[in-house]
Structure 1
Amino acid sequence: MARMIAPTRSNLMRLTEELSFSRSGHELLDQKRSILVVELLTLVDQAADYQNRVDQALSEASQALQDSVMDMGRLTVGNLAGAVNISASIEVGERRVMGVRLPRVETTFSDKGPYFSAEGTSLRSEIAISKYRDALKLMGRMAELKVSIMRLAREVKKTIRKVNALEKILIPETQEALALTKSRIEEAERENFVLMKNVKDRLERVTTMDKTLAT
């Protein structure tokens, strides 16, 4: 249903500007939606790859730990674990994609090895430590991807709603109001033209009559 607007030239100009602005906004939002969708799909593919890598890394780390236990015994491995001096630092930054803030997760490790004497220990213990460290780093990247995907998906939904509102509601309503206002202005101008023509004709007849009476 078209908006009821007074059929004036100023309103016609305002509606024309509003329609132009809405179309520009629709074009920009549509471009934003496309860029966000491409970024979202890229991150989804990366997340699927990283999920496999995390699963594989955890499986390898678990297997390495079991190998250590089988080689040295659970008690020895437990004692060695208490001697491991590794601290993990997770730094969270951000990047922006079309105004959407996405996290950057960087995992770093600080250790003061060797943690224990090599005598009486197995290389498998070192392998297990390395495997778990690799898995933790991958998990940090996986967390970054999952949060980014959630934020992008939310923004894509919002952008799609805005695009649809412009495309299906605001722009059609403005077009209809513009066409109706233009039509009413043209109709009023035609009526004024006919009215002025009638007035002119009457004035001419009166003038002719006055001249006739004068003679």
Structure 2
Amino acid sequence: MADITVIPTRMELTRLKGKLKTAQRGHKLLKDKRDELMKQFLETVREVRALREEVEEELMTVHKSFTVASALMSSEALEQALLYPKQSVELTQTTQNIMSVNVPVYHFQTQTRSDSDIYPYGFAATSGELDTAVEALGHVFRKMLKLAEIEKSAQLMAEEIEKTRRRVNALEYVMIPNTQEAIRYINMKLDENDRATTIRLMKVKDMLLKEAIEERQEADARAIRAFGTAEEAPGEV
């Protein structure tokens, strides 16, 4: 409370109570968001781990097939076979909102839908291992794209989780306690002011009562003196 300066008025108390209510509601919403994001993040991480294992395994298969093909074919023939690609690919990106986090979504579309269009060479002068490698590479490319998508999603969700965690901690450990302390301080000051006002009113009442009693006593004394003077007057005559 030493670092907070507040004006101990009822208007300020009402404002702080509204601020506290809003902060507590925001704290609950942010905690729910953080928990849901963490759940989504863990599911995404598990998906990344499983898909990465598949991609690495298939890339090893592609590498082995290309290694065998390069052993069966000359380097010039292999380079000539793969020099001009036959299939073109169109890649577009959109976004998906997950708990206020815009994660990327990649859309992969080839020029033609026929699987045979991925081979940019004739089959007569090439090795069958090269066909296997090209086909496996075409399949793993889609998984690699999916892996990049979910890895980026996991990264963005991790950043948002960290931001949300900092906001939750700021509300839980700084803003809400300070506001509650300020409210207690104002209530204490207002109670002190009420007690001081009550004491002043009681003192004023006692003073007025004392003055009234003194005035009454003086009036009674004057009346007695006047009555005594009236009784003495006939005897003197």
Instruction: Give the TM-score taking structure 1 as reference length.
Output: 0.90
The verdict on how the C-alpha distance between 1:177 and 1:83 changes in structure 2, with shifts beyond 3 A counting, is closer
Task: Give yes or no for contact 2:90–2:110 (8 Å, CA) kept in 1.
Answer: yes
Task: Give yes or no for contact 1:67–1:124 (8 Å, CA) kept in 2.
Answer: yes
1:144-183 to 2 correspondences below 5 Å:
144-183=149-188
Q: SS of the residue aligned with 2:151?
A: helix
| Match for residue 192 of structure 1 among 188, 197, 207 | 197
Structure 1 runs of 4+ aligned residues shifted over 6 Å read none
Task: Give yes or no for contact 2:82–2:121 (8 Å, CA) kept in 1.
Answer: no
Task: Quote how far apart the aligned CAs of 1:72 are.
Answer: 5.0
Q: What's the % identity of the aligned pairs?
A: 26
Distance 2:97 2:151 in 1: 16
Counterpart AA for 1:47: V
Q: SS of the residue aligned with 2:108?
A: strand
Counterpart AA for 1:129: V
Distance 2:99 2:136 in 1: 37
Greater CA drift, 200-209 or 72-81: 72-81
Q: CA RMSD in A?
A: 2.1
Distance 1:200 1:59 in 2: 98
Q: SS of the residue aligned with 1:4?
A: coil
| Match for residue 214 of structure 2 among 195, 209, 215 | 209
Q: SS of the residue aligned with 1:82?
A: coil
1:21 aligns to 2:22 (yes or no): yes
1:2-151 to 2 correspondences below 5 Å:
2=2, 3-82=4-83, 84-111=85-112, 113=117, 115-151=120-156
The verdict on how the C-alpha distance between 1:45 and 1:164 changes in structure 2, with shifts beyond 3 A counting, is same
- Give the paired residue count: 215
Query: Where does the alignment leave 5 or more consecutive residues of structure 2 unmatched?
Result: 221-237
Task: Give yes or no for contact 1:102–1:147 (8 Å, CA) kept in 2.
Answer: yes
| 1:75-105 deviation digits (Å, cap 9, x = unpaired) | 4433322354011222111111221111112
Instruction: Give the TM-score taking structure 2 as reference length.
Output: 0.82
Greater CA drift, 158-167 or 70-79: 70-79
Higher Cα Rg, which structure: 2
| 1:45-97 deviation digits (Å, cap 9, x = unpaired) | 11111111111121112222234344555444333223540112221111112
Query: Where does the alignment leave 5 or more consecutive residues of structure 1 unmatched?
Result: none
